[in-house]
């Protein structure tokens, strides 16, 4: 509880929480470029979280949830604009 392996991912959970809450909002508010950036960002940090020693599974979980939420937003964006 007293390390960055705990507080970093916990504070980072604001991003996926916001993304999950945004799933119910109007799809015309979704930014395609930002959603794409967050998809790549989460993939990179999921890889990073299991590449370091010790492995940071809390960070992995945070970015896994964000990856799923951003992919859902990406599909909503594509369905709305295409």
Taking the C-alpha atoms of residue 52 and residue 58, their distance in angstroms, rounded to an integer, is 13
The per-residue pLDDT for 7 is 81
Long-range pairs for 72-75: beta carbons < 8 A, 24 or more residues apart: 72/23, 73/19, 73/22, 73/23, 73/30, 73/35, 74/32, 74/35, 74/36, 74/39
pLDDT of residue 1: 67
Beta-strand runs (E) in 21-60: none
Q: Residue 58's pLDDT band (boundaries 50, 70, 90)?
A: confident
Predicted confidence at residue 74, as pLDDT, reads 95
Residues 6+ apart with CB under 8 A from 42: 63, 64, 66, 67, 70
When pLDDT is averaged across residues 54-80 and rounded to a whole number, the result is 93
* CA distances to 13, 26, 49, 60, 70 from 41, in Å: 14, 24, 12, 12, 10
pLDDT at 3 over 80: no
Q: Over 80: is that where the pLDDT of 55 sits?
A: yes
> pLDDT at position 44, please?
97
């Amino acid at each position: 509880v007293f390390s960055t392996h705990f507080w970093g991912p916990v504070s980072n959970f604001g991003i996926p929480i916001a993304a999950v809450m945004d799933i119910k909002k109007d799809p015309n508010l979704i930014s395609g470029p930002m959603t794409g950036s967050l998809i790549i960002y989460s993939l990179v940090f999921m890889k990073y979280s299991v590449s370091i020693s010790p492995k940071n599974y809390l960070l992995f979980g945070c970015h896994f949830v964000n990856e799923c939420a951003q992919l859902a937003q990406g599909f909503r964006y594509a369905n709305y604009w295409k």
